[in-house]
Amino acid sequence: QMQPIIERGYLYIAQPPLFRVKKGKIERYIKDEAALEDYLLELALKDLKLTRSGNGKSTLAGERFKSVLKRTIELQKLLGVLARRRDARVIEGLAIIPGFKKDLLRSKKGLVDFLQKSLKPYLEKVHPDCAPVTFAVEPDAEHGGFQARLETKREGATVETLLHADFFSTPEFDEAIRLGGTLNVLGLPPYALRNGDEQEEIAGNLRELMVKVLAHGRKGQYIQRYKGLGEMNPDQLWKTTMDPTQRTQLQVRMDDLLEAESAFTVLMGDEVEPRREYIQQHALDARNLDI
């Protein structure tokens, strides 16, 4: 309705912090989830190091460990998205098990050998709740070569994961493989965490490792997540969001007028049916819902 304000770059959105972290009398405002994770990793890694289970000589600590953990968190978030249509634990195995290559789909014997000797044992050892793991390899009439159907258990229900050429060519799968390849320094689980007192805690898989490290960083911290500016006191609102010397702002831009108009009409217009179709089409891709 007031396009010139946007076109001339005059419209900004204030960016209040999402979290307040307090320990004793010291408090800190943190802008978003990623910044909170980074802060918690810093706290945790002041006295945490990782050793491969049963091998106390190989350790990972400090900035190198932090870099690996950040990539682990990225991979877990991506697997959470992929899990809406398949078993993310299967994709995790493909990502971090040495020897997996996309061209396995060209050879029935190669694909069967990898599934039987590498992926199935990995899943049943690292994620015992998904056992029994069964699979079938069949010709892929559409793409040539072969495809595999894996059945696993998740909370007692059977989950089927179809591995075929279309899925292997998606950006999400490529990113999972890339992230998994950067985690080779960890080796395969289980992982042993040691704190400053040399007390050992075992993480059976990548997700457990991520959860245990972040939980260590949360110890003694009071973390408040703001759901709206009404939860802030006036002095907090000024200090974090309104003070020109401290505030962060996001400039509103309109790079594609037609696309912006179309999105606004679908999501905010009077017609219900286009909005329903949009929701049904994108429901499984939604992220960061705050309900």
| pLDDT tens-place values along the chain, 291 residues long | 788 999 899 999 988 999 999 988 888 999 999 999 999 999 999 989 998 654 455 788 889 999 999 999 999 988 988 877 789 999 999 999 987 888 889 999 999 999 999 999 999 999 999 989 999 999 998 888 999 999 999 888 899 999 999 988 889 899 999 999 898 888 888 888 988 777 888 999 999 999 999 999 999 999 999 887 788 889 989 988 999 988 889 999 888 888 888 888 899 988 899 899 988 887 766 666 655
Question: What are the strands, taking DSSP E only, across the chain?
Answer: 12-14, 19-23, 26-30, 49-52, 55-60, 134-139, 146-154, 157-163, 191-194, 200-203, 222-225, 249-251
**Which pLDDT belongs to residue 55?**
47
Three-state secondary structure of 88-120: HHHHHHHHHCCCCCHHHHHCHHHHHHHHHHHHH
CA distances from 183 to 92, 134, 180, 189, 227 (A): 11, 27, 5, 11, 35
User: Rounded to whole angstroms, how far apart are CA atoms 131 and 191?
Assistant: 21
Nearest to 163 by CA among 175, 178, 145: 145
pTM as predicted:
0.78
**Which pLDDT belongs to residue 72?**
93
Q: First vs last Cα of the chain: how many Å apart?
A: 29
b/e string for 70-97 if b means 16 or more Cβ within 10 A?
ebbbbbbebbeebbeebbbbbbbbbbbb
12 DSSP β-pair partners:
251
Neighbouring C-alpha atoms within 13 Å toward the C-beta of 291: 3
